[in-house]
Structure 1
Amino acid sequence: MALYEGIALIQEKQAVVLDLGTDYTKFGFTGEAAPRCIVRSEFWCQAERRYKRLYDYRTPQELYDNLVHMLHLLYFRHVLVNPKERRVVVVESLLTPTLFRETLAKVLFIHYEVSGALWVDSGRASALTLAAPVVLVVSIGARDAEVTAVVHGCPVLRALQSQPLGARAVNAELARLLDEDNGRELHLSDDVLDDIKVRACFVPGREAALRWAERGVPADVRETRRGADVLVSRRARALAAEPLFARDHDLASLPDIVLQCIMQCPIDARRSLAGSVLVTGGGAALPGLRARLAQELRHLADQPPYKERLRELEFKFHSAPAHENSVAWVGGALCGAACAGGGAGAGAGAGAGGEGRGVSRETYARTRRLRDWACLLHNTPPSHPHWDMQ
């Protein structure tokens, strides 16, 4: 190895990993076991004199300004690095709006002038942390619950399922139950609801939940939250997460979308997917949620319309290798570390095993176009005839 090549390797700096969640943002460096910071997805807006959420925008220009301020907060206050000197690994959902992806790329390459960026979808990033060939990733975020089947490093796009069954659905039900307990509308803020949910709420077993929903919970077991002056009953603590498991005619509960995802996958992968379930996301941290989900899955698998197509499946759950809310970030950090020296910086377009899609600043300056996850044009080589028809 020539001397200048060794100096170049020594000077290679760790890439940063960015996971812009709806409520919380994870930010840190590749190769590390946890994010350097987990902060709310909000910033101080000088023009409006208030804290503004990242996803609170009405126009593309407003989104651009929000991303500029949010990334400035992350780079220069929380990790203290120069954006121009480090590549970026962006962890995102497969269902991220195109406007958000393109605006984020514009902010990274034009405003902050990063050398390269690698986009990694959260489903494959979570599966990468397990090093398992087949993983069913159940991600419970702030707004939505997404179920992604990852088979040999590739997400089955036709089986992707999503429903608005995230942490905000639990907060809404908790607020309703607390209003009933206190006999008035409390109008609690999200911070107070999150505090009550984290400190007191749990997910009971299926039989206990059905019994409590029908007969009610003894009213003599109550707790008082003095800081917020709120009376919290055992009923509110136990039944706050029931919207995740409530079934309707559309079969849109959390266990239903898990079974529907398995049913849409190839038949030879269904048994492996059922035996390799990984529950991630901030909403997955509720005590008892995985055990309740396993009970509901075993119960519904013997009921129509799943009984004929999903027979004798044994559901097994992985223990997350990191905290539930940062599993996807850890997968992005692993992918970025595996791509060091290539990938995002060289615009190779693929990470280790094809988990990500990299774009260099020079490539973006020529095309100003990002590869879409589900577009056939972006999943074929440049020499394919599809490119001549665009």
Structure 2
Amino acid sequence: MTEQEWRGVLYPFLSRVVTDLLLVAVPKNRRVVVVEPMVAPSTVRAALAHVLLNELAFHAVLFVPGPISIPYALSSPTSPNTQQQPKLLIDIGATEARIVAVEGGRYLMDTFQAVPCGFHTLASTWMDLVNKNNAKTTQDQDITIRIPTLQDAMRLLSQVLLVPAKQSSQAIVASLSTTDSISLDPTLVMELVEELYFNSNNPESLVCGMLESLRQCPLDLKLPLAQSMVVVGGGSLAIPNLEKRLLEALSSISVPQKYASLSPILSKASLVSPLPIPPHTIAWVGASILASLELKDEYWMTIPEPPQPTDEIMVSSSTVSSPIVRDFFQIK
């Protein structure tokens, strides 16, 4: 989509959020913090800046990459400089998990990895497997019971994931939105979770993404990063005991030859747990803390003031300039 197309989508959406949900009466007295992905289309950022500053008339906008904001939420009175310490961030979202190393208030782009193991991806893959298996077992019947939608799959998957391991051999019967009932095998879910998250032989698994990110780290940061891993994102809440299982996988897996150099540090791996803030909101809280600091004015995006009128050149006060879109990391 072009910037103009994004503006057409974002303006009505943000207008409703600002007026109906946040009840902001005077936007010009407010500043906005936008937590953005590490890799985002420039057209989206430019459109956001235009809508927030030009059309909704907010005073200023600050774009903060999510990985940079998270360490600020981990600070405490006893360790106020936590945001400067190296961390390996594992952000599990809807469609993918993103792994990146952060050190000294900056992320190391060479360590960035994205693997397809978000909760929606897990639910979609599981739905396809269930429907395929049901089609095979009922091929002689006129009606095949299927999981009809991704929403159904996510709801059912959440139920199955809560089944204790001791009861995983027992099929459970769940209701669909179509009023039908379906029999589900918890074992299939457990096998799929193992494959997508903990199987070191699957190059697209979460564990392999973490190993690859560590492999790309500078040598002197490998151990500190392995000892300070942080699992965040709404997708991390879906898998029971995810942090514990990740540590067990890292310490006990047969490391592929590609990652043999990491073997000495994997036994020392540790996670920052429990988090002081729920993992699905920690980026927003960190960004709010960052924005409350005494940041230089250059970090904030504003609409440039129009030149003052002189005897020789008259400038209309109604002239509205486009905001200057700056990169957070280009400010010195």
Q: Aligned partners of 1:98, 1:64: CA distance in 2, in Å?
A: 13
Which of 145, 151, 157 is the matching residue for 1:197? 157
For residues 56-78 of structure 1, give each alpha carbon's deviation from its aligned partner in whole angstroms, at most 9, with x where no partner exists: xx454332222112212221222
Aligned to 1:51: none
Aligned to 2:24: 81
Partner of 2:248: 295
Asked if the contact 2:35–2:63 (Cα under 8 Å) also holds between the matched residues in 1, the reply is: yes
Read off the aligned partner of 2:271 and give its amino acid letter.
Answer: F
* Counterpart residue number, 1:90: 34
Residues 17-54 of structure 1 deviation map (CA, whole Å, 9 limit, x = unaligned):
xxxxxxxxxxxxxxxxxxxxxxxxxxxxxxxxxxxxxx
Deviation at 1:236, TM superposition (A): 3.8
Contact 1:223–1:231 (CA under 8 A) maintained in structure 2: yes
Asked whether the equivalents of residues 137 and 280 of structure 1 are also in contact (C-alpha less than 8 Å), the reply is yes
Aligned residues: 294
Does structure 2 retain, via aligned residues, the 8 Å contact 1:146–1:162? yes
Aligned residues of 1:204 and 1:292 also touching (Cα < 8 A): no
Give aligned-pair identity as a percent.
Answer: 24
Contact 2:38 2:65 in 1 (8 A): yes
Normalising by the residue count of structure 1, what TM-score does the alignment of the two structures yield? 0.68
CA distance, structure 1, for counterparts of residue 277 and residue 149 of structure 2: 29
In the superposition, the TM-score normalised over structure 2's length comes to 0.79
**Residue 226 (structure 1) aligns with:** 175
1:302 to 1:244, Cα distance in 2 relative to 1, 3 A: closer
**Structure whose CA Rg is larger:** 2
String of CA shifts for 1:330-371, please: whole Å, max 9, x gaps: 1112112224xx55xxx332xxxxxxxx21232796674322
Partner of 1:65: 8
**How far does residue 240 in structure 1 lie from its aligned partner after superposition?**
4.2
- 1:21-170 alignment runs, 5 A limit: 58-82=1-25, 83-131=27-75, 132=82, 133-170=85-122
Q: Is residue 300–residue 306 contact of structure 1 (8 Å, CA) maintained in 2?
A: no
Q: 1:264 to 1:328 in 2, by over 3 A?
A: same
User: Does the Cα contact within 8 Å between 1:125 and 1:328 map onto a contact in 2?
Assistant: yes
* Residue of structure 2 aligned with 1:334, choices 265, 275, 289: 289
CA contact under 8 A between 1:171 and 1:240: conserved in structure 2?
no
Q: Structure 1: which 5+ runs fail to align?
A: 1-57, 209-216, 350-357, 382-390
Contact 2:304 2:321 survives alignment (8 Å): yes
Task: Provide closer, same or farther for how the CA distance between residues 161 and 182 of structure 1 changes in structure 2, counting only shifts above 3 A.
Answer: same
